[in-house]
Structure 1
Amino acid sequence: MKKLFNNYIDAFNGLSKEIWWLALITLINRAGTMVIPFLSIYLTEDLDISMSNVGWIMTCFGVGSLVGTWLGGKLTDSIGYYKIMVFSLLATGFLFIGLQYLTTFKSLCIGIFLTMCVADMFRPASFVAMSAYSKPENKTRSVTLIRLAINLGFSAGPAIGGLIITHLNYAGLFWVDGITCILATLVLFYVLNPKTAKIQDDVIAIHPESAYKDKPFLIFFVAMVLFSIVFFQYFSVMPIYYREAHDLSELQVGLILGANGLFIFLFEMPLIKWLEKTNNTKIGLILFGAFLTGLSLLVLNLTSWSGILIIGMLLMTVGEMIAFPFANGFALDRAKRGKQGEFMAMYAMAFSVGSIFGHNIGLQLAETLGFDNTWTIMTVLAGLCVFLLYLLKLYLKKNTVQMPLR
Structure 2
Amino acid sequence: MLVTARFRRMVQETAGGLPRQFWWLWVSTLVNRLGAFVVTFLALYLTSSRGYSASYAGLVAALFGLGSAASSIVAGVLTDRVGRRPTLLAAQLGTALFTAVLGFTDGQAAIAVVAFLVGFCNNATRPAISAIIADIVPAADRVRAYSLNFWAINLGFGLSSAVAGLIATHGYLALFLLDALSTVLCAVVVFVRIPETRPDAPAAKADEPAVGLGTVFRDRRFMAVVGLTLLLALVLQQGSTTLAVDMGRWGITSTEYGLVIGLNGLLIVLLQIPLTRWVENRSRSAMLAAASLFIGWGFGMTALAGSSAWIYALTVAVWTVGEILYTPTLMGLIAELSPARARGRYQGVYSLSWSLASFLGPAAGGVLLERAGSGVLWGACGVCGTVAAAGYLLLGKRTGAATGPGPVAVVEAVAVPAPGAAPGAAPAAEVGQAPARA
What TM-score results when the alignment is normalised by the length of structure 2?
Answer: 0.81
Offset at residue 325 of structure 1 (A): 0.4
Query: Which residue in 1 is equivalent to 2:163?
Result: 160
Given that residues 79 and 127 in structure 2 are in contact (C-alpha distance below 8 angstroms), is that contact kept between their aligned partners in structure 1?
yes
What corresponds to 2:77 in structure 1?
A: 74
The alignment's C-alpha RMSD in Å is 2.9
Q: In the alignment, which residue of structure 2 is the partner of 1:356?
A: 359
Farther off after superposition, 200-209 or 296-305:
200-209
Larger Cα Rg: Structure 1 or Structure 2? 2
Query: Cα distance 1:40–1:7, how it changes in 2: closer, same or farther (>3 A)?
Result: farther
Greater per-residue helix proportion: 1
How is 1:223-242 mapped onto 2 (pairs within 5 angstroms)?
223-241=228-246
Deviation at 1:301, TM superposition (A): 1.9
Which of the residues 299, 303, 316 maps onto 1:313?
A: 316
Q: Which moved more, 1:239-248 or 1:289-298?
A: 239-248
Task: Give the match for residue 32 of structure 1.
Answer: 35
Residue 336 (structure 1) shift: 2.1
Per the alignment, residue 68 of structure 2 pairs with 65
Counterpart-to-counterpart distance in 2, 1:255 and 1:329: 31
What is the distance in 1 between the residues matched to 2:242 and 2:190? 34
Say which structure, 1 or 2, has more relative contact order (CA 8 Å, 6+ apart).
1
Matched, 1:177 2:186: no
Percentage of pairs with the same residue: 25
Q: Secondary structure of the residue that 1:14 maps to in structure 2?
A: coil
Cα distance in 2 for partners of 1:23, 1:265 equals: 15
How many pairs are equivalent?
398
Cα separation, 1, equivalents of 2:198 and 2:16: 15
Distance change (3 Å), C-alpha of 1:314 and 1:93? same
The separation in 1 between residues aligned to 2:174 and 2:252, in whole angstroms, is 24
Report deviation, 1:129: 1.0
Task: Classify the secondary structure of the residue corresponding to 1:314.
Answer: helix
Write the deviation string for residues 28-51 of structure 1: whole angstroms up to 9, x where unpaired. 111222333344444455555555
CA contact (8 A) 1:95 1:115 kept: yes
Check whether the contact 1:331–1:344 (CA below 8 A) recurs between aligned residues.
yes
Residues 135 and 340, structure 2, Cα contact 8 Å, conserved in 1: no
Q: 1:260 is aligned with what amino acid?
A: N
1:25 is displaced (CA, Å) by 0.3
Match for residue 296 of structure 1?
298
SS of 2:15's partner is coil
Q: Distance between the aligned counterparts of 2:380 and 2:145, measured in 1?
A: 34
Q: Give, in whole Å, the separation in 1 of the partners of 2:17 and 2:179.
A: 32
The 3-state SS of whatever aligns with 2:217 is helix
Distance 1:211 1:16 in 2: 29
Matches within 5 A, 1:257-336: 257-278=261-282, 280=283, 282-303=284-305, 304-336=307-339
Question: What is the one-letter code of the residue matched to 1:173?
Answer: L
* 1:386 Cα deviation from its structure 2 partner: 2.5
Report whether the alignment pairs 1:211 with 2:213: no
For residues 197-255 of structure 1, the C-alpha deviation after alignment (integer angstroms, 9 at most, x for no partner) is xx6987979856521111110111111111111112223333455556454446x6555
- Any stretches of 5+ residues in structure 1 without a counterpart? none
Corresponding residue for residue 410 of structure 2 = 401
Unaligned 5+ segments in structure 2 are 402-407, 419-438
In 1, distance between residues paired with 2:254 and 2:80?
45
